[in-house]
Amino acid sequence: MAICCPPRVDGPISSAPCFRGPARAIQDQPGPDRLSMVHTSRFEGSAPGGRCATHPTGYGQGETTMIDQIKSDLKTSMRARDKQRTNTLRLLIAAIKNAQIAKGGELDEQDYIALLSSEAKRRREAADAYRDGDRGELADQEEAELLIIQEYLPKQLTEDEVRAIAQEVIDAVQPSSPRQMGQVMGQVMPKLKGKFDGKAASGIVREVFNAAIS
């Protein structure tokens, strides 16, 4: 799904009920040539401003959609004069609206996860590129916005947890040939969707798989 990010636009923001998602205080570190990307947060935890609620049906399925929640969080960040979060949430709202237009309707939970995971990946790659180019301030900006994205994603897994999931699948498949790598990968990766970087996860799964058949 190709998502473009239009310019930031000030305007009235509607309020909405909230789900649970932790707030992070991040200092604004603007850069003149920042990449245009969007951001998000996790499905459970403590919401910005100490609010607390649950959303059992998932985004796009109940009365409260993610964009409603982000708009509500935007109002909170504006009242708190949190420039970093305000700018990030405005970009996110624009990206979600673009995705809705492209789809021709409301996004469901999997659409949101796919969008946010893609944007998180772009932020990581941008931060790495800036660090390699000795542009620490811009790298810090990308990483700060990445933290906000991750707040709206499902809780991220650790490498050890990814290894455990890969091993569980391998134990069930009992592979004896390198040709069964695709079978194992096909069962592991859906379990990690939105919870771990895909490229890094693939490397871990291959490592565990090769150790199992060696």
Residue 63 has a pLDDT of: 56
Same structural domain, 101 and 197: no
Residue 17 belongs to what domain range? Answer: 1-155
Beta-bridge mates of residue 41 = 151
What one-character DSSP code corresponds to residue 133?
Answer: T
- Domain boundary (155, 184, 203) is at 155
Residue type, 79: R
Same structural domain, 28 and 77: yes
- Considering only residues 87 and 9, tell me which one the structure prediction assigns the higher pLDDT: 87
Q: Which H or E element spans position 110? A: helix 109-132
CATH number for the domain including 127? Answer: 1.10.1510.10
| Per-residue pLDDT reduced to its tens digit, 172-205 | 999 999 999 999 999 999 999 888 888 899 999 9
Same structural domain, 26 and 13: yes
- pLDDT band of 39, cuts 50, 70, 90: very low
State how far the alpha carbon of 170 is from the alpha carbons of 30, 74, 157, 183, 202, in Å: 46, 44, 19, 9, 14
37, 123 Cβ separation under 8 angstroms: yes
Tokens 């096909």 — which residue?
Answer: 186
Question: How far is C-alpha 131 from the geometric centre of its chain's CA atoms?
Answer: 21
Same structural domain, 24 and 115: yes
Residue 114 has a pLDDT of: 86
* The total number of structural domains that make up the chain: 2
